[in-house]
Amino acid sequence: MTDYLAELNDAQRRAVTHRDGPLLVVAGAGAGKTKTITHRILHLIKSGVSPDAILAITFTNKAAKEMLHRVTDLLAREPELRDERVRPFLSTFHALGVHLLREHGRVLNLSRHFSIADRDDSLTLIKTALQDLGYDPKSIEPRGLLNAISREKGRLITVAHYTEHLEQNPFGQVVAEVWRHYEQALVTTQALDFDDLILKTVLLLRDHPEILSVVQARWQYIHIDEYQDTNVAQYQLARLLAGARENICAVGDLDQSIYSWRGADFKNLLRFEHDFPRAVIVTLEENYRSTQMILEAANRVIVKNVNRLEKTLYTKNGRGEKLTLITALDEREEAGLIAGLAKRIIDQGGAPEQIAVLYRANFQSRALEEAMLHAGVPYRVLGVRFFERQEVKDLLAYLKVALNPQDFISRKRIINVPPRGLGKVTVAKVLANDVASLPAKTQTKVEVFDAILTDIRAKALVEKPSDTVRYTLEHSGLGESLRQGGSDDLERLENLRELVTLSLAYDGEPGETGITRLLTEAALVSDQDAMTNNKQAGAAVSLMTVHAAKGLEFNQVFVTGLEQDLFPHRRLFENAGNGEEIDTEEERRLFYVALTRARQKLYLAYAETRTIFGRTRVNIPSDFLLDLDDTLVEPLGEEIMKYD
């Protein structure tokens, strides 16, 4: 038997040993919040709570899998729990929604095999709606409409409510019309978009008390990670799950709230004490990641924010090096200096995968990529997802249609992949269920396609997921078609074989359950999951936005583009939705997140001039740099060779 409590500091131990009633854990960056949550789960189980009465929710598959791995390891260390067959339910918000909707969705007239429409699918439906309604897609931005609909769903607004309370303005009218059309298409397709996975789950539990009672009886101890990142719908879902018992543990950090642009409301964390007056509050301030020098810089920056819960990070890791300030003539020199420093770190034995270059806006990656190539530094740009590759989406579409024949989005995608000689008119008639009017020869082609889907369905319902994926690759004709192509097609075939390999992980749940979980997790994969699972990534420097870096950590971190109007970003001040003060504070929180990604060494870079959208502008250093004096920061030494 291990003394698992001895592994914790005093604050962590208070959080872990608090059993019943609401608990708020204010967890600073690198302060061991995952360790605290997992040890708390172990403590609950050792205290007599059944593992399947415990629920823990976070935001990314990566975080959920890390939590599951740690809990499994902790339980394996305890002899009396080693053979425990039941495990806590550890999930993302969206995956939890899928689980509950597949289990209880019949009351919402949802098929158990409903499809999950990804963003591309949703955009396709929005464009179709615009065309059907007679709007010019070139004059109305489909992404803007989808963002507006997504924002409303995140606020728990349905299309009926939106239409009833519609403000009389042209854009709102278009949103209402397109949304109604879009929603009907989702219903016809038996599909839900990402926002529906939370919205529909809240409506399911709120409007069906008998189902809510079942769910609350099952999960009696609730843990919500990254509580500051919850939107209205996620917040309400957490409240419903907590129920009258109020055995809810919320873990979060206002200083790392950086997602207001996608509906996150940090006030959810601030109102926790009001929602749960009996709440116990524990603050985790000891950082296990960074040096004291890095933490002093981070503390100096974030203390200027008004909307926060007071805390000061500290560490026993040692003082460490000062931060290095890189001043460059332009973005080309900035990128060259960074590439040169990265190369030096690697040449001196540093691991490329432990180096990250962070930027505020995606366009900044171009100069950095060119410099890395020139310097011969291996790199990867976060955001190229395995599951977004065309050929991977094609094969998954076969599986989706096989299980959900009403999924006309996926059906349209693959009806001519590989080519079957079916023209646009034929496809339109097939999707309209008007096959009878087609010529006999064409009808035969359609019947062959339908027979392929029927065969795949028969396999999917009983076989191991990996066998089903392998069978689909060949039976669909995708494998043979790609083998007949050129080198690019052979690379695509390798990606599909990798999908077969990946599906082996789901063979523990044979048949319908395993293949459904594969489709669900493929649909819900995040940027960070993509980076973690990318087999081609290898040992490479990571280039990514600061937003994408949240939750990650590296030995050496470069924060680039620290110029006024770029970081902090001017756009937020021009379009301040909640007032300029809030937006300014979010930019400061974003800089704080960037600083606290580093374990050993931080480099801060800015360019005196930068060309953006074809115009060169003269910059002044970011206000954030004014918070850091020469006790924390030193300029880059002249011994560093300039980029040529």
**What tens digit of pLDDT does each residue of 191-225 get?**
999 999 999 999 999 999 999 999 999 999 999 99
| Cα–Cα distance measured from residue 608 to residue 53, given in angstroms and rounded to the nearest whole number | 57
% of the chain surpassing 70 pLDDT: 93
| pLDDT reading at 587 higher than 50 | yes
| Cα–Cα distance measured from residue 219 to residue 50, given in angstroms and rounded to the nearest whole number | 10
| Cα–Cα distance measured from residue 555 to residue 342, given in angstroms and rounded to the nearest whole number | 12
| pLDDT reading at 581 higher than 50 | no
| pLDDT reading at 577 higher than 50 | no
Banded model confidence at residue 80, pLDDT cuts 50, 70, 90: confident
The alpha carbon of 632 is separated from its chain's Cα centroid by a whole number of angstroms, namely 33
| pLDDT reading at 343 higher than 80 | yes
Take residue 108 and report the two structure tokens written for it. 């919402």
Q: Within 10 Å of residue 448's Cβ, how many Cβ atoms?
A: 10
pLDDT tens profile 99-142: 999 999 999 999 999 999 988 899 999 999 999 999 887 788 89
What pLDDT is recorded for position 323?
97
| pLDDT reading at 534 higher than 60 | no
How do beta strands 323-328 and 379-381 pair?
A: unpaired
Cβ contacts of 462 within 8 Å, gap of 6 or more = 510, 511
| pLDDT reading at 1 higher than 70 | no
Task: Compute the C-alpha angle 146/147/153, nearest 5°.
Answer: 90
Which of the two residues, 214 and 431, has the higher pLDDT score?
Answer: 214
What pLDDT is recorded for position 337?
97
Q: Is 258 helix (H, G, I), strand (E, B) or coil?
A: coil
Banded model confidence at residue 580, pLDDT cuts 50, 70, 90: very low
Banded model confidence at residue 572, pLDDT cuts 50, 70, 90: very low
Q: Name the CA radius of gyration of the chain, rounded.
A: 26
Q: Picking from 39-48, 131-140, 552-561, 583-592, which range would have the lowest pLDDT averaged per residue?
A: 131-140
At residue 633, what is the residue type? V
| Cα–Cα distance measured from residue 372 to residue 369, given in angstroms and rounded to the nearest whole number | 5
What pLDDT is recorded for position 2?
65
Banded model confidence at residue 494, pLDDT cuts 50, 70, 90: confident
What pLDDT is recorded for position 127?
92
What pLDDT is recorded for position 613?
66
Concatenated DSSP letters of 507-544 = TTSTTHHHHHHHHHHHHT--HHHHHHH-TT--S-EEEE
- What pTM was estimated for this model as a whole? 0.87
Phi, then psi, of 251 in degrees rounded to 5: -120, 130
| Cα–Cα distance measured from residue 192 to residue 210, given in angstroms and rounded to the nearest whole number | 23
pLDDT tens profile 151-190: 999 999 999 999 988 777 788 899 999 999 999 999 999 9
Local structure of residue 90 (DSSP, 8 states)? E
What pLDDT is recorded for position 449?
92
Output the average pLDDT for the chain: 90
Q: Picking from 96-100, 283-287, 387-391, which range would have the lowest pLDDT averaged per residue?
A: 387-391
Nearest to 116 by CA among 129, 104, 102, 130: 102
Residue 466 CA neighbour count, 13 Å, CB half: 11
User: In the chain, count of helices (H) and strands (E)?
Assistant: 28, 19
* Segments in 312-407 forming alpha helices (H): 331-347, 365-375, 390-403
Q: Within 10 Å of residue 361's Cβ, how many Cβ atoms?
A: 14
Take residue 318 and report the two structure tokens written for it. 């040692």
Average of per-residue pLDDT across 482-497 = 84
The alpha carbon of 77 is separated from its chain's Cα centroid by a whole number of angstroms, namely 31
Banded model confidence at residue 226, pLDDT cuts 50, 70, 90: very high
Average of per-residue pLDDT across 255-271 = 90
What pLDDT is recorded for position 27?
95
What pLDDT is recorded for position 538?
66
Average of per-residue pLDDT across 272-292 = 96
Banded model confidence at residue 495, pLDDT cuts 50, 70, 90: confident
Average of per-residue pLDDT across 591-596 = 97
At residue 400, what is the residue type? K
Residue with tokens 């490479």: 540
Per the rule left: phi > 0, alpha: psi between -120 and 50, beta: everything else, 523 is: alpha
Nearest to 339 by CA among 539, 538, 543, 531: 543
Rounded alpha-carbon distances, angstroms, from residue 626 to 94, 164, 225, 326, 632 = 40, 49, 33, 14, 11
Cβ contacts of 322 within 8 Å, gap of 6 or more = 293, 632, 633, 634
Residue with tokens 């005196």: 608
| Cα–Cα distance measured from residue 555 to residue 602, given in angstroms and rounded to the nearest whole number | 9
Residue with tokens 């097939």: 430
| Cα–Cα distance measured from residue 84 to residue 500, given in angstroms and rounded to the nearest whole number | 30
Strands (E), 77-136: 89-92, 115-117
Average of per-residue pLDDT across 311-332 = 95
What pLDDT is recorded for position 526?
58
Which of the two residues, 642 and 508, has the higher pLDDT score?
Answer: 508
| Cα–Cα distance measured from residue 181 to residue 130, given in angstroms and rounded to the nearest whole number | 9
Nearest to 116 by CA among 483, 490, 404: 404
| Cα–Cα distance measured from residue 148 to residue 462, given in angstroms and rounded to the nearest whole number | 41
| Cα–Cα distance measured from residue 205 to residue 282, given in angstroms and rounded to the nearest whole number | 30
Concatenated DSSP letters of 26-49 = EE-TTS-HHHHHHHHHHHHHHTT-
| pLDDT reading at 578 higher than 80 | no
What pLDDT is recorded for position 385?
65
Q: Which positions are annotated as active-site residues?
A: 33-34, 225-226, 256, 597
Average of per-residue pLDDT across 458-485 = 92
Q: Within 10 Å of residue 225's Cβ, how many Cβ atoms?
A: 27
% of the chain surpassing 90 pLDDT: 70
Bond before 51 cis per omega within 30 degrees: no
What pLDDT is recorded for position 485?
79
Task: Compute the C-alpha angle 342/347/351, nearest 5°.
Answer: 65
Bond before 568 cis per omega within 30 degrees: yes
Q: Picking from 142-156, 180-194, 286-300, 567-581, which range would have the lowest pLDDT averaged per residue?
A: 567-581
Average of per-residue pLDDT across 545-566 = 94
Average of per-residue pLDDT across 80-85 = 71
| pLDDT reading at 144 higher than 80 | yes
What pLDDT is recorded for position 644?
42
| Cα–Cα distance measured from residue 362 to residue 4, given in angstroms and rounded to the nearest whole number | 43
| Cα–Cα distance measured from residue 442 to residue 434, given in angstroms and rounded to the nearest whole number | 12
Instruction: Tell me the torsion sign for CA atoms 447, 448, 449, 452.
Output: positive
